[in-house]
């Protein structure tokens, strides 16, 4: 047998009390990938609560202290989201009592050591081999700008953000400022005027369309090079959540939809780890340029995307319904597809890339109103000391406002019997972690005017048609001659009747469609996929069903084509059709595009172990 792998080497080990079950003892062992909890007594449990907590399900941890000065113990709490037996994640907070030393100061130092080690592992900060583990190992509290489109998906983005996202990112010790977009292009304008150094990340809470605005806004800044270093993230609350689906797979989670996908992506976001992201620069017939992180689509896919807009109330299922209707009225599109192939092509799709099937979200029943649906809605919410006229929203379930949690909030685990009626509950240890509203937090410059409270509008304003605002800035497209000029040698041209043409950057076309299963965020490749005319409806349906697992290339369908490219040009030879870039409709006509490898920075979380296939 070889040596034990680094992942299972114990980094810390200790014995603690379990709070509030005073008297119960546990042994904790921390490794690179998990916290092992072993129940020690006093007597064996009927229902053991121990086990292995993989760090992939941990949102964060904090240290706590008893308000009563007579308690010499210190505490640390870890927030986890394990999967329940019937699927779906459930929040659990586990609190451990550090009582091995005689004085509070020593116990506190130990609690601090554990909390710091956990946070370092979660955020990818290396632990010193033999040095002290103290909180100054951690960089400053990361500050996120969250942008929410209240009309994203079924119009639930705001509530989902308040109910699920904010508690988790508070637990992770991240600061946030939450802004609700008021109109199309609002997010784009906001990031164009942003003081970049004040933020550690910009995260959109919607579908892919809002991140498209953010990316294009950042690339349209004169300092776009600097702006591209700003980590951007996505939390899926839209009807098209393709990038989130790719992130979910990258994080090693099983395919997921809906709230499960949102929780997985929030867990990844809590880790605060980023990596490079390829960006495709797309030049449209008018000469306008826009930037894509997802896909350029023509034919069947763009038709379904745009024509299913009217089924927005169905959430992701709108695409399923749209696909059925699209199949019924199948069109073909004559056109010319030219591309600059990737040299020494090692990126061809491999049928072995298929994934387990996602739990389908095909439900036509209206979603039940989330709990707390009547909580007041504010346009702008922050846990930072901004000059808000509305009281800042307190993250439910977050560790910080413990005194408020005790009487009526979540977290009964902290309100348990603490040795008698007179005892004060635990409160955050002010010296160990700085709570979000502490004076230590640096105020941001106010980037929004704060409006009086307003109710969530019932309906989105009419969608504004067509052409996105072009980007004047950004990197030059050195592989592309002007549209209309002949292509240089080395390009390949196909002239066909197409059913669809897709140019993918990441793997996923939607949360449950894996169009380019072998794609990576930073492979520098645009994955061209096309389906030629002559395909039967049944064969096309089979391709889309197989795409749920990324297994379409294994079908060896003669009408399915693929090429790995650095750049491409698409010339429709029919006046009728729709083109989309990242799900947004753009002007119809010839277009061309070049991949800019690793141009942007994506809040991705660490790569996960690939999900074990159930097959
Ligand atoms: P979905 O996946 O549900 O379509 P998106 O994030 O793609 O969600 O958003 C859909 C469209 O809404 C995008 O074009 C986006 O620019 C636009 N948008 C963003 N904020 C608002 C708003 N407050 N009102 C109307 N449209 C908005
Ligand atoms: Mg890629």
Alpha-carbon gap, residue 202 to 171, rounded angstroms: 18
Q: Whose CA is nearest to atom 9 of ligand 1?
A: 209
CA nearest to 402, candidates 97, 95, 158, 134: 95
Q: Classify 264 in phi/psi space as left (phi over 0), alpha (psi -120 to 50) or beta.
A: alpha
Residue 306 has pLDDT above 70, yes or no: yes
Mean pLDDT in residue range 157-165 = 94
Atom of ligand 1 nearest to the CA of 312: 3
How is residue 323 written in tokens?
A: 């696909």
pLDDT single digits (tens) 96-146: 999 999 999 999 999 999 999 999 999 999 998 877 898 889 988 899 999
Higher pLDDT, 310 or 306: 306
Q: How far is the CA of 588 from the centre of ligand 2 (A)?
A: 25
Domain boundaries, the chain: 6-137
In testing the pocket of ligand 1, which one of 152, 183, 213, 302 has its CB within 8 Å of the most ligand atoms? 152
Nearest CA to ligand 1 atom 8: 207
Give the DSSP letter of residue 83. Answer: B
How many residues are listed for the chain in this entry?
615
| Residues in Cβ contact with 466 at an 8 Å cutoff, skipping those fewer than 6 apart | 585, 586, 587
pLDDT more than 70, % of the chain:
74
Could you tell me the distance, in angstroms and rounded to a whole number, from the CA of residue 375 to the centre of ligand 1? 23
Long-range contacts of 39-48 (CB under 8 A, 24+ apart): 40/15
- Residue 584 CA: nearest ligand 1 atom is 14
Which residue's CA is the nearest one to ligand 1's atom 25?
Answer: 183
For domain 6-137, the question of CATH label 2.30.29.30 is answered with yes
What's the confidence (pLDDT) of residue 303?
79
Dist. CA 517 → ligand 1 center (Å): 27
Look at ligand 1, atom 16, and give the residue with the nearest C-alpha: 184
**Distance from C-alpha of 522 to C-alpha of 600, rounded to nearest angstrom:** 9
Q: What is the mean pLDDT of residues 494-519?
A: 95
Q: Helix or strand or coil: residue 264?
A: helix
**Pocket of ligand 1, candidates 210, 302, 511: which has the most ligand atoms within 8 Å of its Cβ, to mutate?**
210
Q: Which atom of ligand 1 is nearest to the CA of 210?
A: 6
Which two three-digit tokens encode residue 108?
Answer: 């506190």
Query: What are the contacts of 341-345 at 24+ separation with CB within 8 A?
Result: 341/490, 341/492, 341/563, 341/564, 341/565, 341/566, 342/525, 342/564, 342/565, 342/566, 345/564
- Ligand at minimal distance from the CA of 209 is 1
Phi, psi of 226, rounded to the nearest 5 degrees: -65, -45
**How many whole angstroms from 24 Cα to the centroid of ligand 1?**
51
In this structure, which residue's CA is closest to atom 27 in ligand 1?
184
Closest CA to 242 of 599, 500, 514: 514
Question: Which ligand is nearest to the Cα of residue 147, counting in written order?
Answer: 1
> In this structure, are strands 25-30 and 34-41 parallel, antiparallel, or unpaired?
antiparallel
Q: How far is the CA of 332 from the centre of ligand 1 (A)?
A: 29
CB 602 within 8 A of CB 231: yes
Distance in angstroms (rounded) separating the CA atoms of residues 269 and 453: 29
Residue bearing the CA closest to ligand 1, atom 19? 184
What gap in Å lies between CA 32 and CA 6, rounded to an integer?
Answer: 7
Q: Which listed ligand is nearest to 313 at the C-alpha?
A: 1
> Does residue 42 have a cis peptide bond before it, meaning omega lies within 30 degrees of 0?
yes
What number does the ligand 1 atom closest to the CA of 213 have? 16
Cα 577 to Cα 299: distance, rounded to the nearest angstrom? 7
CA–CA distance, 600 with 603 (Å, rounded to integer): 10
Above 50 in pLDDT, residue 432?
A: no
Kind and range of the H or E run holding 176? strand 175-180
Alpha-carbon gap, residue 518 to 123, rounded angstroms: 27
H or E segment at 17?
strand 12-19
Beta strands in 45-112 (DSSP E): 51-54, 58-66, 74-80, 92-98
**Could you tell me the distance, in angstroms and rounded to a whole number, from the CA of residue 261 to the centre of ligand 2?**
21
Q: Is 367 helix (H, G, I), strand (E, B) or coil?
A: coil
Give the position, in ligand 1's atom list, of the atom nearest the Cα of 461: 25
Distance of CA 291 to the CA centre of its chain: 19
Pocket perturbation via mutation, ligand 1, pick of 147, 149, 237 by most ligand atoms within 8 A of CB: 149
Write down the pLDDT at residue 427.
59
Residue 133, both tokens:
């583990």
**Cis bond before residue 20 (omega within 30° of 0):** yes
Sorting pLDDT into bands at 50, 70 and 90, what band is 171?
A: very high
- Concerning whether 305 is annotated as a catalytic residue, the answer is no
Given CA atoms 391, 426, 108, 104 in this order, what sign does their dihedral have? positive
| pLDDT range class, residue 318, cuts 50, 70, 90 | low
Query: Pocket residues for ligand 1 (CB within 6 Å)?
Result: 149-153, 181-184, 186, 206-210, 213, 238-240, 460-461, 583-584
* Whole-number Å distance between alpha carbons of 194 and 447: 7
**Mean predicted lDDT score pLDDT of the chain:** 80
* Cα of 241 from ligand 1 centre, angstroms: 12
Query: Is the model more confident about 486 or about 355?
Result: 486
pLDDT tens, position by position, 90-108: 999 999 999 999 999 999 9
How close is the Cα of 167 to the center of ligand 1, in Å? 24
Nearest-CA neighbor of 14 among 117, 89, 83, 93?
117
Q: Which of 170-184, 305-319, 393-407, 521-535 has the weakest average pLDDT?
A: 393-407
C-alpha angle 263-435-145 in degrees, rounded to nearest 5: 50
Gap from CA of 308 to ligand 1 centroid (Å): 15
Determine which residue's CA is closest to atom 13 belonging to ligand 1.
209
CA-closest residue to ligand 1 atom 11? 209
Best residue among 178, 184, 294 to mutate for probing ligand 1, ranked by most atoms within 8 Å of CB: 184
Least confident range from 16-30, 372-386, 518-532, 570-584: namely: 372-386
Which is nearest to 580 in space by CA: 297, 309, 323, 306? 297
Q: Please compute the mean of the pLDDT values over residues 291-313 and round it to a whole number.
A: 83
- pLDDT, tens only, 554-567: 999 999 999 999 99
358 band by pLDDT with thresholds 50, 70 and 90: very low
Nearest ligand by distance to the CA of 309: 1
Q: Is 20 left (phi over 0), alpha (psi -120 to 50) or beta?
A: alpha
**Residue 212 CA, closest ligand 1 atom number:** 16
Name the closest ligand to CA 518. 2
Strand partners, 24: none
User: Measured in angstroms, how far is the CA atom of residue 507 from the centroid of ligand 2?
Assistant: 7
257 C-alpha to center of ligand 1: Å?
19
The best mutation among 188, 209, 457 to test binding of ligand 1, ranked by most ligand atoms within 8 Å of the C-beta, falls on 209
HSE, side-chain direction, 13 A CA sphere, residue 608: 25
Q: b/e for 92-102, b at 16 or more Cβ within 10 A?
A: ebbbbbbbeee
Q: What is the DSSP letter of 518?
A: T
Ligand nearest to the CA of 293: 2
HEC-encoded secondary structure of 111-172:
HHHHHHHHHHHHHCCCCCCCCCCCHHHCCCCCEEEEEECCCCCCCCHHHHHHHHHHHHHHHC
Q: Which atom of ligand 1 is nearest to the CA of 209?
A: 7
Cβ proximity of 236 and 262 under 8 Å: yes
Name which residue sits closest to atom 12 of ligand 1, judged by CA: 184
The helix/strand/coil state of 547 is: helix
236 neighbors 259 (Cβ within 8 angstroms): no
Tokens of 138: 């951690």
Can you tell me the mean pLDDT for 213-231? 97
Do 295 and 503 meet the contact criterion of CB atoms below 8 Å apart? yes
Residue of 208, 278, 429, 523 with catalytic role:
208
**Residue 464 φ/ψ, nearest 5 degrees:** -85, 135
CA-closest residue to ligand 1 atom 10: 209
Please tell me the distance from the alpha carbon of residue 258 to that of residue 468, in angstroms, as a whole number. 28
Q: Does position 466 have pLDDT exceeding 70, yes or no?
A: no
Instruction: Decide which of 196 and 129 is more confident.
Output: 196
CA angle 75, 78, 81 (to 5 degrees): 160
């Amino acid at each position: 047998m070889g040596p034990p792998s680094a992942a299972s080497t114990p980094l810390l080990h200790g014995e603690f009390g379990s709070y509030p079950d005073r008297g119960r003892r546990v042994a904790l062992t921390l490794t690179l990938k998990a916290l092992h909890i072993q129940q020690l007594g006093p007597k064996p449990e009927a229902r053991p609560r121990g086990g292995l907590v993989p760090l992939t399900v941990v949102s964060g941890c904090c240290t706590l202290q008893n308000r009563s000065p007579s308690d010499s113990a210190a505490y640390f709490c870890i927030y986890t989201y394990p999967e329940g037996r019937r699927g779906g994640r459930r929040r659990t907070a586990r609190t451990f009592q550090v009582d091995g030393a005689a004085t509070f100061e020593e116990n506190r130092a130990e609690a601090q050591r554990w909390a710091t080690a956990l946070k370092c592992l979660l955020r990818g900060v290396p632990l010193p081999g033999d040095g002290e583990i103290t909180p100054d190992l951690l960089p400053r509290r990361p500050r996120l700008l969250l942008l929410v489109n209240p009309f994203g998906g079924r119009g639930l983005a705001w509530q989902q953000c308040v109910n699920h996202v904010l508690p988790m990112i508070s637990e992770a010790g991240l600061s946030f400022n939450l802004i609700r977009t008021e109109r199309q292009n609002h997010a784009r304008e906001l990031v164009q005027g942003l003081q970049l150094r004040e933020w550690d990340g910009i995260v959109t809470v919607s579908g892919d369309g809002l991140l498209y605005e953010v990316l294009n806004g950042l690339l349209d800044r004169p300092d776009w090079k600097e702006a591209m270093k700003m980590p951007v993230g996505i939390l899926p609350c839209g009807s098209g959540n393709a990038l989130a689906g790719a992130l979910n797979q990258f994080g090693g989670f099983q395919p997921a939809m809906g709230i499960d996908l949102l929780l997985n992506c929030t867990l990844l976001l809590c880790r605060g780890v980023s990596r490079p992201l390829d960006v495709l620069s797309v030049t449209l017939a008018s000469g306008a340029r826009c930037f894509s992180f997802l896909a350029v689509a023509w034919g069947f896919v763009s038709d379904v995307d745009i024509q299913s807009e009217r089924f927005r109330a169905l959430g992701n299922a709108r695409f399923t319904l749209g696909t059925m209707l699209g199949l019924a009225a199948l069109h073909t599109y004559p056109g010319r597809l030219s591309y600059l192939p990737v040299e020494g092509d090692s990126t061809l799709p491999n049928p072995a890339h298929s994934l387990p099937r996602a739990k389908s979200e095909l439900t036509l029943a209206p979603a039940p109103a989330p709990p707390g649906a009547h909580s007041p809605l504010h346009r702008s919410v922050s846990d930072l000391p901004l000059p808000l006229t509305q009281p800042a929203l307190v993250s439910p379930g977050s560790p910080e406002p413990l005194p408020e949690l005790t009487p009526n909030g979540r977290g009964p685990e902290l309100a348990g019997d603490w040795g008698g009626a007179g005892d004060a509950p635990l409160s955050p240890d002010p010296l160990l972690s700085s709570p979000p509203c502490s004076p230590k937090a640096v105020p941001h410059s106010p980037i929004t005017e704060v409006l009086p409270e307003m109710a969530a509008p019932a309906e989105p304003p009419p969608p504004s048609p067509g052409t996105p605002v072009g980007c004047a800035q950004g990197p030059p497209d050195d592989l592309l001659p002007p549209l209309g000029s002949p292509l240089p040698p080395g390009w390949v041209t196909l002239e066909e009747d197409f059913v669809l043409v897709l140019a993918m950057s990441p793997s996923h076309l939607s949360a449950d469609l894996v169009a380019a299963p072998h794609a990576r965020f930073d492979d520098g490749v645009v994955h061209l996929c096309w389906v030629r005319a002559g395909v039967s409806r049944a064969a096309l349906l089979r391709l889309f069903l197989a795409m749920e697992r990324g297994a379409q290339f294994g079908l060896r369908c003669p009408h399915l084509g693929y090429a790995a490219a650095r750049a491409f040009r698409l010339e429709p030879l029919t006046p009728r059709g729709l083109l989309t870039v990242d799900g947004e409709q753009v002007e119809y006509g010839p277009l061309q595009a070049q991949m800019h490898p690793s141009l942007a920075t994506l809040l991705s979380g660490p790569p996960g172990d690939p999900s074990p296939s159930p097959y």
